[in-house]
Amino acid sequence: MLKTRILTAFVLLFVFFFALFYFPPIGWLVFATFVAAFAGWEWGALMALGMTSRVVFGIVTACICAVIVALFPGAFGLANAVPEAAWHLGRWFYFPATVFWLLIVPIWMKSHWSLPKSVVGLFIGLVVILPTWLALVQLKQTGGEVALVLILSAVWIADIAAYAFGRTLGKHKLAPGISPGKTWEGAIGGGLAVIAYGFTLSPKLPSVLAENGVLLFSLLLLFTVISIVGDLFESLLKRQAGLKDSSSILPGHGGVLDRIDSLTSTLPLVALVWLGTVYNAWL
């Protein structure tokens, strides 16, 4: 099992980095759309849909992505690219997504609501998937490949640090009814690691963040919290659906949603702050 997990991780990283650094912009856009389609297919499993319905929702998710690109090509750096268009389009996705993760999801988890097996459940899936897809595309478009890797690394560092602190110091359960393995010690350790990482990279951040330590600290702390919320939310949905993983498409790792659960909550927030700063939208 460990050998399979390591091999799959190696292949995933190779494919991801090859697509990120060597695909042209349209190629990266197609790659991100495939990720969104598979995430949509797996979301159907969380809703206990049949295989046909799951496939249809995955295709519909990809089609919605394609329609958005066709309607707003300038926001994706394509024909007649308009740099500010990335912000004008993105804010309509990132603001609602951030509100969803910061306000609605904590209440959802506290109340242990079930995912509606209706159009409402499908809409919630789009709220989770589409802003993540858009952020993957726009963060690379506006910040470049290295910037996107550094952003994703913050999530990976949070996960690794939380696991290490949890295994060595963990005594107090964070959310035993949702994910028994997670502890407050792990969450605090992950937060400390992210804050240290963020301040180390601060010279490379926009000046409004690099020169305001309190603001940067607050955003890094919020980043950590919302990352944990994303992870716990998918764990709750899987538990309610009676699933160990969102799918078995990635041997040893489960499914696409299992790999991007924290990204679905963090990337919209990062894109909101990043694009708002780049285009001076907050001034």
Tell me whether residue 85 is in a domain.
Answer: yes
Whether 217 has a pLDDT exceeding 90, the answer reads yes
Distance of CA 52 to the CA centre of its chain: 26
Tell me whether residue 50 is in a domain.
Answer: yes
Tell me whether residue 7 is in a domain.
Answer: yes
Instruction: Yes or no: say if 94 and 268 are a contact pair by the CB < 8 Å rule.
Output: yes
pLDDT in tens, 31-54: 999 999 999 999 999 999 999 999
Instruction: Yes or no: say if 133 and 257 are a contact pair by the CB < 8 Å rule.
Output: no
Tell me whether residue 204 is in a domain.
Answer: yes
Average pLDDT over residues 72-89: 81
DSSP 211-280: T-HHHHHHHHHHHHHHHHHHHHHHHHHHHHHT-SSS-SSBTTTB-HHHHHHHHHHHHHHHHHHHHHHHTT
Tell me whether residue 283 is in a domain.
Answer: no
pLDDT in tens, 143-196: 899 999 999 999 999 989 998 998 898 888 998 888 888 999 999 999 999 999
Sequence length of the chain is 283
CA distance 217 to 51: 44
CA distance 144 to 21: 9
Confidence of residue 1 (pLDDT cuts 50, 70, 90): low
Pairing mode, strands 173-175 and 179-183: antiparallel
Q: What is the pLDDT of residue 81?
A: 63
Q: What is the pLDDT of residue 2?
A: 59
Instruction: Yes or no: say if 47 and 123 are a contact pair by the CB < 8 Å rule.
Output: no
pLDDT in tens, 96-155: 999 999 999 999 999 989 999 999 999 999 999 999 999 999 999 988 999 999 999 999
Domain count, the chain: 1
Confidence of residue 82 (pLDDT cuts 50, 70, 90): low
Tell me whether residue 210 is in a domain.
Answer: yes
Provide the mean pLDDT of the chain: 91
Domain limits for position 116:
2-278
Whether 20 has a pLDDT exceeding 70, the answer reads yes
Instruction: State the Rg of the chain over Cα.
Output: 18
The Cα-based distances of 40 to 44, 46, 51, 162, 272 in angstroms read: 7, 10, 12, 28, 23
Tell me whether residue 110 is in a domain.
Answer: yes
Pick the range with the lowest mean pLDDT from 222-231, 251-260, 264-273: 251-260
pTM metric for this prediction: 0.94
CA distance 91 to 70: 18
Confidence of residue 249 (pLDDT cuts 50, 70, 90): confident
